[in-house]
Every structure is written in C-alpha cells, then in structure tokens.
Amino acid sequence: MKAGWEVVIGLEIHAQLATRSKIFSGASTAYGAAPNTQACLVDLGYPGVLPVLNEEVVHMATMFGLAVNATVAPRSVFARKNYFYPDLPKGYQISQFELPIVEHGELYITDDEGRDKRIGITRAHLEEDAGKSIHEGLERSSGIDLNRAGTPLLEIVSEPDLRSAKEAVAYMRKMHSIVRYLRISDGNMQEGSFRCDANVSVRPVGQQELGTRTELKNLNSFRFVERAINFEIDRQIEVIEDGGEVVQETRLYDSDKDETRPMRSKEESHDYRYFPDPDLLPVEISPEYIETARQQLPELPTAKKRRFTDQYDLKPDDADLLTGSRPLADYFEAAVAATGAKPQLVANWVIGDLSGALNRDSLEIADSKVSATELAGLLTRIHDNTISGKIAKQVFEAMWAGEGDADTVIDAKGLKQITDSTAIEAVVDEVIAANPGQVAEYRAGKEKLIGFFVGRVMQATKGQANPGQVNQILKKKLHD
Amino acid sequence: MSDSQQDLFSQSMTELAAGLDAGDFTSAELTETLLERIGAHDDKLNAFITVTADEALQSAARADEARASGRGGVLNGLPVLHKDIFCTRGVKTTCGSRMLDNFVAPYDATVVEKLAGAGAVVLGKTNMDEFAMGSSNETSYFGPVRNPWNLECSPGGSSGGSAAAVAARLAPAATGTDTGGSIRQPAALTGTVGIKPTYGRVSRYGMIAFASSLDQAGVITRTAEDAARLLGVMAGFDERDSTSIDEPVPDYIAGLDRPIKGLRVGIVRQHFDAGLDADCAVSIREAIAVLESLGATTVEVDLPNLDLSVPTYYVVAPAECSSNLSRFDGVRFGHRADEAEDLMDLYCRSRGEGFGDEVKRRIMTGTYVLSAGYYDAYYLKAQQVRHLIADDFRSAFADVDVIAGPTSPTPAFRLGDKIDDPITMYLNDIYTIGANLAGLPGMSIPCGFVNGLPVGLHLVAAHFAEETLLRCSHQFQQHTDWHKACPKDFA
Amino acid sequence: MSLSKEQVRHIAMLARLKLTEEEYAESVQKLSKIVDFVDQLSAADTRDVLPMAHPLHAVQRLRPDVVTETDERDYLQENAAAVADGLYLVPKVIE
C-alpha cells in the first residue's frame, strides 16, 4: 500500500447456521435441491402464514457469543427490514436491529507484524437468508429460486479495527475456524455458507475522522477478500489523489476482472423502515441457559494451540496449523494417543505427508484414506525401528492406495528393517572391499565420504538396513 | 315439511344442534334450506364472495353419516360461514381484493381446520372490506354489502358480509376478524352478537394479516350461547402462531347460566361525550339499567387517553399493514400486471392495479410513519401512547369486571355517506379500537333500535375474561328480546 | 402539516405503488388530513413511557429443529403467473 495512507476496514460476515430446518419454518436447509422444492408456505411468504423460531439457532448464537467473549442478550427482538427485491418473498427480511442476540465481543488475530491484535465484534444477530436470482439461460427474465430463503444466518459485524487486507483475511480465517469449531456452520464458502461484505475506507495517516467508505459485496473466498480490498484501497487512494471524492456506495467484486464496480440494483436510496416484527415475540435467554451452553463449549483454537505447544511440545507454527480446524486437531490427538512415537513426529506426518495426500486427492480430513489409528500404527513402526522414516513414506503411500495397514504393507513388501548386525556387517564388508579408492580417501581425512558408503549399503539392502546401525558399523570398520 | 323445518333458518346453532340430535332434520336438509335461502336473498345483500354449495353438501352428507354412526364433533352438521380473509384449501380466498381475485389458498387456516374438525359445514365465504381495511364494507373489490335492516345502509365493516348474512338468517354463525372493531361494529350495526377474544386466544395462522399486533379472529352469531359454542372450538394454542397463547380453553358454555349478581360494570365517562348519537345513548343507558336489574353494580371509570386511541391506531395499524402487504408483488401469487417493462414496473403496476384506494392509502400512511425521519415522531410515539392506553384499561379493571358502553357512535349510516372522508370513517371505531390496542376481549350485543336500525352494547373485559363477557351477554339475552328481532325483508 | 406531492411520490415509490395523476392529487389531500389527524399524538406526555409493540407480555416460543415440510412446488406454483423450470419469473434483474 502507498505510504502516507491508512486503511480502515470493518467486516460483516454472514455465517449460515448448520440447522436441519429453516429459521422460521420446517423446510429443509439441505444444499443443492431442485429449485423451489425446499420453499414451503412460510418461506414463500404466503398470505396468512406465520414464523416460529427454531430453537437450535438460539442455541448456536449463544454458543457463538460465549466463544467470542461477548454478551448474550437476556432479551433480543426480531425486526423487519423492509425492501422490495425478487429474492425476498415477503418484501421484508426478518432480522434483528435494535436488540441483537450477541453484542460486544472480541477476537484476537496475528497482525502484519506478528503480534496479537484485538478486533472488536460490535454485534452478531440472527436473520433469515434470501433466495437466489438466476440470470443465466433465460431470455428477458430472471428466475427466482427460494430454496435458500429462510436459511438461518448469523451476521457478525466487526468494529472498524482492521488495518489491511491481510488483517481482514486473518480475522475472517479465525472466524471461520471458530464457527466450525463450534459446529454452528459448515463454513462452506463455495456454497455460500460463509461469506463476507467489507466496509473499506482510506485516510491520510494522522487524520482523525474516517474517510468515506464503500461496501464491497460478493466476497466468497479468502483470496477474493484480500484482492477486492486491495483493489478498493488502491482505487480510493487514486480517486483522492486525483482530486476526486470517494462516493459512499455498494460495490460488487468481479473476480474475473479482479476489480470492484458499483452495484446498479442498489442505487436507489434505501429506507429500510425497521420496526419490531409483530409476528414474533422477544427472545429471552436465562442465565441458566447461558451456563448450560458454556458447559457445552468445545476447546477453541487459541486455547487448543496453547495446550498443543505445552502438552505436546510442538513448534508454535505446527500447533497453529494443527488447530486451524477441529477435525485436524482431533485427528492429530487421536494419532498421538495411539502411538508411542513423539508428538512432534506425529505432527510432522499430519502436516506433511497426510495433508499432502489429502490435498492431492481433494479430500477433507474426515474422508482421509488413512485413519488416525492407521497412521499411528505406521509411526509406531518408525519408533520401534521396524522401518526407517524413508521406508515409512513408501509404506504410507501403499496404505493410502488401500493396500492395508502398516504391518500388512511392511510384511507383504518385505520392508522390515535389517537390524541384525551380522547381516549389516557382511554388506559393509562387501562395500568396503568394492570401493578401495574411496576407503583410502576417507581414511586420509575426507570424512564427508561416509554418506557415500551409507548410500551404497542402503542401496545394497534396498533401504532396509537400519541407518543408525549402518553408520555405526561403517565408522567402526573404516577406522579399523 | 313440519313447522320446525320451515323456520330452520331462524334457529340458533344451539337449537339446530338439538334438532339434529333429535333427528328432526338432517344436516343435508338444513344445508339445502340455507343454500336455497342464500340463493334467494344474497342478490339484495351481496354478503357472499363465494358460495361453496358442492363442498357444503358433501360435508353435510359426511356429518349425517358420522351422526348415524355415533361419531361427530361438537359442531357436527352445523352451518357456518367464513369471512373471506381465512385461507381455505382449494377454495378461492380473496380478502375482498382484486389482488387475490384468483387466489386459491393451498392450505386451511387453523380456524378453518378447527371448525371443520368439529364437523361444521361451511356454506361460503363472506364479503368484507378489502384486506379488512374499512368500517363500511364499501372498500371491497366485490362491491359493498347491504344492511338487511335497510338496504340503503352499510352493515359496517370489515366483517360486513358475515354480519349481514347472520342478521338476514342466511346462516346462524360466521367467523370474522377484528383489528379495530371489525367484528363488533358490524355486529352492532346489524343487530347481531360479535365477540373479539383476547389477542392470542385464537390462532392467526391462515388469517390474512392486516395489522399483526391487533388482528384477532372471532365470531358473529345471533346469541351469546352460540358465540360461546363456536369460540370454544376456535380458541386454543397453535404451535404455528408464535403469538397464540398456551392457556387452557375454559368451557364457555358451562358458565353461561351463572347469574351476574355482583358483577361490577364500569361506565366510562368519556363514552357519553359529544360524538355519541343521543338516541343511541338512551339505548345504551337502558341496557346498563337491565344489567343493574340483574344485580350488577355500576362503577364510573376513567379512560383518560380514549381520544388518542384512534390516532394511535391509525399509526400502528397502517405501519404493520404497509409491511404485511409487501408480499403481494405479482410474483408467487396474486394479481400480476401484464407486459411489465422491468422489475420496478412489475411491482408498481401489479400493486397499483391490485389494491384499492383505501388499502393504498393505508400502505402509504404506514410507509410514511415508518420512514426515516418520521419513525420517532409517529411510530414510536404511537407505541408509547399505546402503552398509556393499555395502562388505562389495566387501572380500570382493578375496579370492575366489565366495561359497558356503546359499540358505535351511531346506528348504521347510509352507503356513500362517509367513504370520501377517511377521518370521519375512522372515528366510527372510537369505542372499539382500545380493546385491540390493549389486546382485550370485547363483545357487542344488540340492545335496542333507533329509527328501525339496531344499536349495539359494547362490553370489554380483562385479558382472557371471555367467560365474563359471554355470561354477561347471555344473561342479558335471557331477559331481553333484541336479538330475536328479524329484519322484515328476511323474516 | 401538509404533505407535498414530492413526498407522496417518494412514499409511493418506497411502497411500490403506481398511482395515476388523479390518485396523486387525491392522495396528497387525504394523506395530509390523516397526518394532521395523527399529529394529535405529539401532545401526549410520553416521557419515560416504554413503547408497546405487543399486547401481551409473552416470550417467543421455540420450535424444535425438525424438517416437517415436504415438496409442494408444483401445487404452490399453480398460483404463480409466470414460472419456468420450477423458477418464479420476473423481468430481468441487473445487479
């Protein structure tokens, strides 16, 4: 970013809550159904129908509030946000306005300088999602699919505490990880279950008042958030430096062109005419209810990371990676529990070979072809010197390919490490005899050549000789 | 045909139930009699939007079968009408609007379901002010309803079709809805009984919303006993309505015979101020004297904010209606303008064409009072005054069991007289609106005539005290004959 | 207080109502009367009075998170004027 400018960013994250039924109706929230087959009378805004609140969304919002150290409101109120749009069947969205269910929270991210930074969470409120307009494949019309209408959303509004696109992404990632830890959202960004609008403004360094902000919509991946914000920062600075003024408006991010442009449909002035929804009563949450929810809170990423470094003596970066998602952390802990190998070794394998294989096959950890116990079985064989680390990679690939557990693969392929010193000595003797020139050089002081000899011995044993023993025997014989 | 069969139409539900039980006639015979009568008389009244003759005859036949085999609910085979604001599956549900001229509801309202479940036979759907917005039935897209007592007069509204049909003996009972007096005022103007229960007592599910925090379903009958019978079936908790109350429904009929000796009747000073027709005032005072003769005592009470109830209502109700009616956009149901140029044009023309003048006026009023810069001065202020009005009633009910007074300032007025002046029309509801704002049960019963037109006595009680209203009304009717009078053209 | 024609136009736009010129004239006159009428409220002393959104002091009841609805699309779309491939149609929307 250009020197002399400061950026101010606030994010509004919409997390779809992972309920079975909608926020105010008994229609399914499952993704991907044929158009309008999951839009019931309530979702369609039929005359005479009424909303009834899903208990699970209240529970989920409460859990979220506790997780971000916020106040869970003893009384919150649903309000109507009135505007006409085809994907909004009733002509109003049921949301929360004056009294949201969660207020005054916080989240810590690592800022650009690597320090912990507190980001304030102004509020989080419950609301219903809108449907979808489909523009492709229709001549002069748009088609409306209301399957998504009424899906519960938690809108999480941050304070304007973020100072760069990178911080915005760090915040969003952290939030993503939290909602998934809490299992209140699947966080699937392709399906739109976790999306974000960004309010962006710039001001010269030292200026107190905020610059005019624009709202960026349609940010449905971490990469787009970063790119859209960076584009917008540059655009605003350029506008101001050219003597112009930033216009307060809603802009859409176009990922194909990597640019933001004003949204045409939102041009007309907005007057949402919020008022309390008379079809719904105030939601009251008792201290006992909150206490019960607190008992159900899982260990959250920050606490888990701290525990991983303390309890397992992991490198902080590794602990960070492993605690990024709850299933990954659970996998790691399950593997540690099932092997005597050092936790750091387990971490190396989970972050290295396992993650590599998952990425290669585009699999989630839950669908891993090698289970935590199976991986532990493999690492146990490294630990007890049955195989070397190098052979283990070969065994892992075979396990991934479905050839059985570690012991089966080791047996079938005859990969068991040679630890019989007599056998290793025989091979060492052969190698020494076959390479008199190198032996002489070694003995003359070129000790680097030890690698050459080890290589030859390993080659001769198809990698199965115990590398430690090979080293030891070689050195002894070469020094004789 | 015996005598009793010839005047089947004039019998109350209670009498009809006894006749069915005794085997004097069948539900099919009863249904045919009333359908014939509707055919013969409704041209004069325009009380019906849809007559469901085929469905009625089928359900009557089912009711007769059920009775023969010893089954059947408490309303088995008894005829009722539904105001056309209640959704009826497979039957046109218009809400008195061009917007829903062709709308066939895909589901039954809870009220409809409950009455059907008890065996009632629905003869048809009654005319009403468009979206229940009106006090004269003149805002209906399907034309005004006429008052059976004088065909030049309005039957009141918005449940004017229900009231006129019951008054004209086209059916013994009909459902209605009441947002500011829409059951009680037409009941008063047609000489029928109308009860609006406590807010939340009857489910609003399937009742097309006008103003959600005020709307409540009730019934129009000719006797308090019939009202008790029907209300007992309609009332009760509904999990589909968040605002319905989970309180047990008392046996309303069981309490009717208890004398009202010692009942404390509140008389509101402000009710007899200028504005109330002098002849009506006489009828109301006489009716109160009847209650006293039955052992009730009167206590003067004060409702200091009564005058503010109409302006409060005309902020709150339009605000809620402006939002409730946004769903009518021509996309999923309802009127859709032809050849729309773009989305804005589709919305504006579908709604411009589909809604009538009064509905548009209320939508615009509501939009205005909620809009940026006006919310605090109007909407929020009205919500505060609403609190004051509710508190006035709360204080009053510390001293009395019911409040008695006029339902309407005048007897039925002539069609066309008030329709051009919204404020004059709105002031018609001055005595009834308070009960809606405070969520209280209210009831109107016939108590006299002025120039051949009925006068209604209005009773209001504390939350969930419907029993008191019904008992007081029943006792009154045991000692008066006003409810037995029949308009002469319909005798 | 009288409403201007411009105000009425703005309100009609917010409410998505197309009015004829005649209707505008009438609306200006009648809405002004209504606004004057409800202006009586401004005289009420409402200091420290809480707004009352609801007639009863009840609390929102919660529904179990269970799918109870089945697909009725084709039946429900009989009420719609324009549908294609299960979608409700509106004139092209430009975002």
Chain A residues with CB under 8 Å of C69 CB are: 21, 25-28, 38, 40
Calculate mean pLDDT across residues A279-305.
Answer: 95
Neighbours of B262 (CB within 10 A): 9
| B441: nearest CA partner in chain C | C55
DSSP A291-317: HHHHHHPPPPHHHHHHHHHHHH---HH
Residues of chain C contacting B465 with CB distance shorter than 8 Å: none
> What is d(CA C74, CA C88) in angstroms, rounded to the nearest whole number?
11
Query: Between chains, do C95 and A265 touch, taking CB under 8 Å as contact?
Result: yes
* pLDDT above 60 (res A190): yes
To the nearest whole number, what is the mean pLDDT of chain B? 96
Q: Which domains does chain C have, with CATH numbers?
A: 5-41 (1.10.20.60)
Distance, in angstroms, between C17 CA and closest chain B CA? Answer: 4
CB of A283 within 8 Å of any CB in chain C? yes
Lowest mean pLDDT among A197-211, A281-295, B128-142, C63-77: A197-211
Q: What pLDDT is stored for residue A1 in this prediction?
A: 64
Helix boundaries (H) for A338-449: 343-349, 355-360, 372-383, 389-400, 406-413, 421-434, 436-443
Type and span of the H or E element at C90: strand C87-91
Among the partner-chain residues B307, B314, B387, the one whose CB lies closest to the CB of C34 is: B314
Please name the member of B208, B211, B329 whose beta carbon is closest to the beta carbon of A48: B208
CB atoms within 10 A of CB B440: 26
pLDDT surpasses 80 at B5: no
- Catalytic residue numbers of B? 83, 158, 182
Using an 8 Å CB-CB cutoff, list chain A residues near B331.
86, 89, 144
Interface residue of B111, B131, B242, B325 to substitute, partner A, most A CBs within 10 Å: B242
Instruction: Give the mean pLDDT of B321-342.
Output: 96
Residue that the structure tokens 């442009």 belong to: A261
Give the count of alpha carbons within 13 A of A372, CB side only.
17
B272 touches chain A (CB under 8 A): no
The predicted complex's ipTM stands at 0.97
pLDDT given for residue B223 in this prediction: 98
Q: Which of A264-273, B355-364, C59-68 shows the lowest per-residue confidence on average (mean pLDDT)?
A: A264-273
Coil, strand or helix at A151: coil
Compute the nearest-CA separation of C42 from chain A (Å). 20
Question: pLDDT (tens digit, 9 = 90+) per residue, B53-67?
Answer: 999 999 999 999 999
CA atoms within 13 A on the CB side of B31: 28
Q: What percent of chain A has pLDDT over 70?
A: 99
Q: Chain C interface residues facing chain A, Cβ-Cβ under 8 Å?
A: 14, 16, 53-54, 58-69, 71-73, 76-77, 82, 84-95
The nearest alpha carbon in chain B to A39 belongs to B332
Whether pLDDT at A449 is above 90: no
Cβ contacts of B68 within 8 Å, gap of 6 or more: none
Task: Check residue A269 and give its pLDDT.
Answer: 60
- Virtual CA dihedral for B423, B425, B426, B429, nearest 10 degrees? 150
**Per-domain boundaries in chain A:** 5-289, 299-413, 421-479
pLDDT band at residue A137 under the 50/70/90 scheme: confident
Give the whole-angstrom CA distance, residue A165 versus residue A225.
7
Q: C49 vs B427, which has greater pLDDT?
A: C49
pLDDT for A136: 84
Domains in chain B and their CATH numbers? 9-262 (3.90.1300.10)
Q: What is the mean pLDDT of residues A158-183?
A: 95
CATH of A421-479, one of 3.30.1330.10, 3.20.20.140, 3.40.50.1100, 1.10.10.410: 1.10.10.410
Nearest CA in chain A to B327: A90
pLDDT at B1: 40
Q: What is the pLDDT of residues B196-245, one digit of tens each?
A: 999 999 999 999 999 999 999 999 999 999 999 999 999 999 999 999 99
User: pLDDT tens digit string along B265-303?
Assistant: 999 988 888 789 999 999 999 999 999 999 999 999 999
Within 8 A by CB and 6+ apart from B381, the residues are: B315, C41, C42, C44, C46
Chain B from 240 to 269: CB within 8 A of any A CB: 240-243
pLDDT for A267 = 45
Pair B136, B421: CB distance under 8 Å:
no
Does C11 sit within 8 Å of B364, measured CB to CB?
Answer: yes
- Taking CA–CA distances from B355, the nearest residue in chain C reads C17
Q: Is the pLDDT of residue B2 over 50?
A: no
Q: How far is CA C3 from CA A428, B109, C33, in A?
A: 104, 40, 9
- Pairing mode, strands A141-145 and A152-158: unpaired
